Amino acid sequence: MSTDAENVTSKKPWATIILGLIVAAIFLTIIFSYQVEERETALVVTTSKVSDTPVGPGWHFRWPYPIQKIVKFDNRFRIFDGNVGQLEETMTKDKHNVIAAIFAIYRIKDPVTFYRKLVDITSAEENLNTWMRSTKTETFGRYNFNQLVNVDPEKMQLTLMEKEMTEHLSKITATYGLEIKMVGIKAINIPESVTTGVFERMKSERQAEAAIYRSQGESEAKIIRTNADTKASNVLAEAEAEAHKIRAKGDAEAAQFYAAFKQDPQLASFLRKLEALRRVMKDKTTLILDTNTAPFDVLKVNSDSLEQPKAAKQ
């Protein structure tokens, strides 16, 4: 029994030692190393001196604090719309006040320069807010009110203004290790004190343009009506001339027939009666009429009518 107890007692120190070594290894690993994630960039500060080369993702060796301090920065883009003065009045070139707000999309491009000049994100965004306000004031002051608010999209210059603000702010922040991807206009409002006047002016401008369009429409309508009347007069004149020609031709042909009819009036009367019958009885018709009434008297056969053709032949 004593032998077994001695064996158990002799094994316990070794287990404790191994466990202690493992804990010490973990502790030393934590103290003498650090991890940088894929979205991060790190700087090693050795006794207040910043390394000139940023450290990329992975596990890295370090001396424990206070010999070395590790400063990590998120290298992804951030959206910042200002922490003060987000909506404030800004004067345009033609002396109109507008309430404008802008935003910036930025990231830390050069961690070494950023840390040396701005230290951290809080300090950076305080300075960025000031730079954004000055950029907004300077840019809005070079454009007229109708280039910001207008019913005609071609007259608005908001896209150009955003491009100019991006370029202006990029020049300022480049020396601080920041990269500006975009500066955009978040909102444009009109102060209540000038809203009525602006709307009245826009209304008068629209009415003036409408009057111009109406005048142009009336002028074009007059031209169209004049052209139509001229064409109608020409068509009527041509039709009347053609009718005169047809009537003259018909009169000439009729004169020839009249000359022939004058030689034999009875034959002319007989032919006209036949023509009248042809018109009246062009369809199948049953008529009960007095044959003594013209033109139906031609249907009456008597000795006189039979003798007339013989006399005509003679």
For position 258, what pLDDT does the model report? Answer: 67
Residue 148, classified by CB atoms within 10 Å of its CB into exposed (0-12), middle (13-18) or buried (19+), is buried
For the stretch 22-43, pLDDT in tens is 777 777 667 777 888 889 999 8
Name the nearest CA neighbour of 160 among 172, 146, 143, 173: 143
Name the nearest CA neighbour of 54 among 142, 113, 106, 8: 113
- Assign 306 a pLDDT band (cuts: 50, 70, 90): very low
> Using CA atoms, how far apart are residues 193 and 66, in angstroms rounded to an integer?
59
Name the nearest CA neighbour of 80 among 179, 189, 190, 191: 179
> Using CA atoms, how far apart are residues 222 and 227, in angstroms rounded to an integer?
9
Name the nearest CA neighbour of 138 among 90, 106, 81, 98: 90
Residue 55 burial (CB count, 10 A): 19
Spatial strand order of the sheet with 49-50 comes to 49-50, 40-46, 68-74
- The pLDDT of residue 312 is above 70: no
Weakest mean pLDDT among 14-23, 171-180, 303-312? 303-312
Whole-prediction pTM: 0.55
For position 107, what pLDDT does the model report? Answer: 95
- Residues 275-292 as b or e (16 or more Cβ within 10 Å = b): eeeeeeeeeeeeeeeeee
Helical spans, DSSP H, in 101-191: 111-117, 121-140, 158-173
For the stretch 104-151, pLDDT in tens is 999 999 999 999 999 999 999 999 999 999 999 999 999 998 888 887
Q: What value, to the nearest 5°, has the Cα angle with vertex 144 and ends 143 and 149?
A: 105
Give the single-character DSSP code of 292. T
